[in-house]
Homo-oligomer: A and B are copies of this chain.
Amino acid sequence: MKIAILGYGTVGHGVDEIVAALDGVEVAHILDLPDRCTEPRMTSDYASILADPEVELVLECMGGLEPAHTFIMQALCAGKGVVTSNKAVVAAYFDEFAEAAKANGVALFIEATTGGGIPWIASIEKARRIDEVTSFMGIMNGTTNFIVDNMAKTGADFAETLARAQELGYAEADPSADIDGIDVKNKTIISASVCFDVACTSDFPVTGIRNLTKADMDLFAAHDRVVKLLGHGVARDGSYAVAVEPMALPASSLEANVPSNFNLVTLEGATIGELKFYGQGAGSLPTGNAMVQDVLDYRDGRRPSYDRSRDLAYDPALLAGDYVFRTIEAPDGASPYGEGAWLVEGITAEAARNLLTNACEADPSAFMARIV
């Protein structure tokens, strides 16, 4: 079977390396910029790839919205299946891709968008053959987990740790997508779509860890808690809700003990209970592995279909909980949680996000975490 790789960066190289060791799959074309085409398989002419009738699958690992969106649509409309690792473009154009795949009778695979090498998307789909998935949550971003884990282990503060993550290649020069929760937001949209069959809104509370300090971590440690950045969602009684937010988890939880840049994702179903999956959340070979697993699933006849048309209302009340705020002024109804920190009980993720936004007007360094 012949496949084409779009984008020959970290992930594209991983796919190429893994496929080279497999029988029966061949990387026939690699799309890259003209000045990077250094071997016979490489081309900068996407039309020539689409015109090759032997190419069954196009593996998009370019990242970003354009030209990835256009290239994916062109592949689907040309009757080729698509395997993508691009969470941003899937979160933005999920329905368009799913409908084009259906209309053209071709496959759309998205395992590598969420959870890196963890078989997360396929596991949700498998669980749903029996159970309704009622909730999910997860550490879905290796960069922020590395930062938080490193701060806890070395005692360094946020800026210093971010700089170290950048040196090691774990964080981008512009770290905003990671530390402000944008990456987790995209993965949360994708997870909710697959868990709940819903056209997940992009308008939900998202808070990152940019303002997390060593003092915050020490405060939570005194309460036997560890802060991590998580995406989560719940569906119940015809409604659903999702959020991305720092959570202060019990030190004895599995989530609190996820090291370095690993991911841990959880689903819950009626008969299976809680299932958790742990592995490398990013990287050349783990993400490449997830894409090649999709290729092998295609070869073995798996044809996932994504239908986001379930009629669930977005109801913020489903995600009510207790929040700690480190702010200059105590929020209304708050009780003391520690030096300069306040506990507000029984509010929604949305109300908490609004409280934080207001607090940031007086103090842009304010921080908040959900107590779980």
Chain A residues engaging chain B, CB cutoff 8 angstroms: 14, 17-18, 22, 117-119, 123, 126, 129-131, 252-254, 256-259, 262, 270-280, 285-286, 288-289, 292-293, 296, 301
Residue ID in chain B nearest A19 by CB atoms: B130
Decide: A276 and B279 in contact? CB cutoff 8 A. Answer: yes
Q: Are B275 and A117 in contact (CB under 8 A)?
A: yes
Q: Are B257 and A293 touching (Cβ within 8 A)?
A: no
* A293 / chain B contacts, CB cutoff of 8 Å: 126, 129-130
In the complex, 18 of the A-B residue pairs with CB atoms within 8 angstroms, ordered by the A residue number, are: A17-B271, A22-B130, A118-B275, A119-B123, A129-B296, A130-B293, A130-B296, A252-B259, A254-B254, A254-B258, A262-B274, A270-B285, A271-B288, A272-B286, A273-B286, A275-B278, A276-B277, A276-B279
Chain B contacts for A130, CB-based, 8 A: 18, 22, 289, 292-293, 296
Q: Which residue of chain B has the shortest Cβ distance to A284 in the bound complex? A: B271
Instruction: Please indicate the chain B residues that have their CB under 8 angstroms from the CB of A272 in the complex.
Output: 117, 279-280, 285-286, 289
User: How far apart are the CA atoms of A117 and B127 in the complex, in Å?
Assistant: 10
Quote the shortest CB–CB distance from A303 to chain B (angstroms).
11
* Complex Cα–Cα for A18 and B271 (A): 8
Query: Among A22, A131, A289, which residue has the most Cβ atoms of chain B within 10 A?
Result: A289
State the Cβ distance, A66 to closest chain B Cβ, in Å: 30
Partner of A273, one of B256, B273, B280: B280
Contacts of A301 in B (CB 8 A): 301
A63 to chain B, nearest CB (A): 20
Q: In the assembled complex, how far is the CB of residue A272 from the closest CB belonging to chain B, in whole angstroms? A: 5
CA distance A275 to B262 in the complex (A): 10
8 A-B pairs with the lowest CB-CB distances in the bound complex, closest first: A276-B278, A271-B285, A275-B279, A271-B289, A272-B289, A273-B280, A117-B272, A129-B296
Query: How far apart are A34's CB and chain B's nearest CB, in angstroms?
Result: 30
Contact of A126 (CB < 8 Å), options: B119, B254, B258, B276: B119
A336 to B211, CA, bound (A): 46
